[in-house]
Structure 1
Amino acid sequence: MKVLILCTGNSCRSQMAHGFLQSIDKDLSVFSAGTKPAEKVNPKAVEVMKEARVDISGHNPHNVTEYLDEPWDYVITVCGGANENCPVFTGDVKHRLHIGFDDPSDANGSDEFVASEFRRVRDEIIVRFKKFYNDELKSQNNRI
């Protein structure tokens, strides 16, 4: 099963979802990308995922163009706000889903507040991607 998770910068939400989904099933082929990839994964995303025992420190942002010619079982967008530029993927895709989250890198305020926003979004990603895995991916694998 091949899954591509898309966002704009591929530095926070898509990386957290990628790391979490891969951590719950090593047999999945999980990738993430963005339309305007950042230079590196956001250090706060790495930090809060480490707290959840998921290591994304070796991840790097990728451009969605790297994956356009590949077939996918699922392509999932994770951009949250309606004003945000979520990528549109028109390649060979069996299932397209949108599971949106706020962008924690938009948080402003004290270090504690910013960290709490990253944790909140991380926890939402874990809950929603665990549900996606249980409802969609496990049932797909059982049909094979």
Structure 2
Amino acid sequence: MDKRPFDPKTDRIVTVTLDPNTITSVDPDEVHEWRIASYDLIDNNRFYPARVSATGPYALHLSIIQNHIVLDVRHPETFKPIAAHYLSLTPFRSLIRDYFRIRESYYEAIRSASTFQIEAVDMGRRGLHNQAAELLIERLKNKLVMDLETARRLFTLICAVQPYAARVPEQDSQLPTILFVCSMNSVRSPIAAALARKHFPGHIIARSAGVRSGKVDHFVHEVMEEIGIDMSVHTPHTMDELVASSFDAIITLADDAKAAVDARGLQAQTMEHWPLEDPAEAEGTRETVLAAYRRLRDQLDARLREALPNMLELAQKSG
């Protein structure tokens, strides 16, 4: 396939999100690592998916499935899927190990070595990045098209998130699964799933979805940041993207969500309907709207603290 010239206005990634179930950490150094890698990639890149009619710019959503990183390209506003590709980590293992080894040598050299030694280590680091970038371009040939600098930055991001690849695959996990569904997976269901993960870390797999496609809501980011939850990793998903049809618990948060779950025939040991007002419909000043989002957050927080222990107990007994 012949590559076309890059259009700097459309052939680029403008946002990067991560799957909070498979790529998550409470270690501030690890969070800082993938945040910086994401920002660097967004800041300067040339990128487009091959063999698709959609035009950019693009959103890139990353998730871990066994020994693969899934590169999920989406529309940056609607988050409608455009193309998804599985990238095996096996060919990159030695390069990733060398990346961390050289990175530590570089930081050590900055602290105590001469300028000549720093330059020597930096040259080795650049050489490793070029080698990895060329391998990345080759492995994604005819799938995702990017220039060398973009491949270098993407490799850095892969290094930042790859430690999570050793996790137990979700489909093989014995943890109870809970699905939250609302209208557009922009406000109510992602907040509920994030709160569930916060209160029961390592004890559940919490997913969220919408009846139809929604957009990122920055008021959600703001009110969740207030309680220490980073929602910048969230990408809205629709029910059509669900792989599973059976869960330990399903909680619907809007009337159209309940109707859609019933129509789709999704099954769960426990199904509850919590119809909550959508704060995105609130009118008034910015503070008035934020207050509506905080009320929703706090309502969900209290209800989940009360309801989820019983749901988890039922799931364990039936399991």
What is the TM-score when the length of structure 2 is the normalising length? 0.41
Query: 1:134 and 1:29 mapped to 2: Cα distance?
Result: 14
Superposition pairs for residues 126-141 of structure 1, below 5 Å?
126-137=301-312, 139-140=313-314
Superposition pairs for residues 14-53 of structure 1, below 5 Å?
14-27=189-202, 28-40=204-216, 42-53=217-228
Q: Deviations over 1:107-140 (max 9, x none)?
A: 0100110011111111101001111123322x23
Compute the displacement of 1:93 (Å).
2.1
SS where residue 275 of structure 2 aligns? coil
Query: 1:92 and 1:136 mapped to 2: Cα distance?
Result: 15
Query: 1:93 and 1:134 mapped to 2: Cα distance?
Result: 16
Query: 2:270 and 2:311 mapped to 1: Cα distance?
Result: 10
> Do 2:223 and 2:294's aligned partners in 1 also have CA atoms closer than 8 Å?
yes
> Do 1:68 and 1:91's aligned partners in 2 also have CA atoms closer than 8 Å?
no
Compute the displacement of 1:102 (Å).
0.9
> Do 1:69 and 1:92's aligned partners in 2 also have CA atoms closer than 8 Å?
no
Query: 1:113 and 1:92 mapped to 2: Cα distance?
Result: 38
From 236, 245, 259, the counterpart of 1:61: 236
Query: 2:178 and 2:225 mapped to 1: Cα distance?
Result: 22
Query: 1:104 and 1:24 mapped to 2: Cα distance?
Result: 23
Q: Aligned residue for 2:180? A: 5
- Partner amino acid for 1:64? M
Compute the displacement of 1:69 (Å).
4.0
Q: Aligned residue for 2:269? A: 94
Q: Aligned residue for 2:291? A: 116
Compute the displacement of 1:141 (Å).
5.7
> Do 2:270 and 2:311's aligned partners in 1 also have CA atoms closer than 8 Å?
no
Q: Deviations over 1:62-92 (max 9, x none)?
A: 010122643211111012xxxx522422123
- Partner amino acid for 1:120? R
Which of the two has greater helix per residue?
2
- Higher relative CO (CA 8 A, sep ≥ 6), structure 1 or 2? 1
> Do 1:5 and 1:14's aligned partners in 2 also have CA atoms closer than 8 Å?
yes
Q: Aligned residue for 2:137? A: none
Query: 1:35 and 1:57 mapped to 2: Cα distance?
Result: 21
Cα distance, 1:49–1:135 mapped onto 2, change above 3 Å: same
Q: Which runs of 5+ in 1 are unaligned?
A: none
- Partner amino acid for 1:110? T
RMSD: 1.7
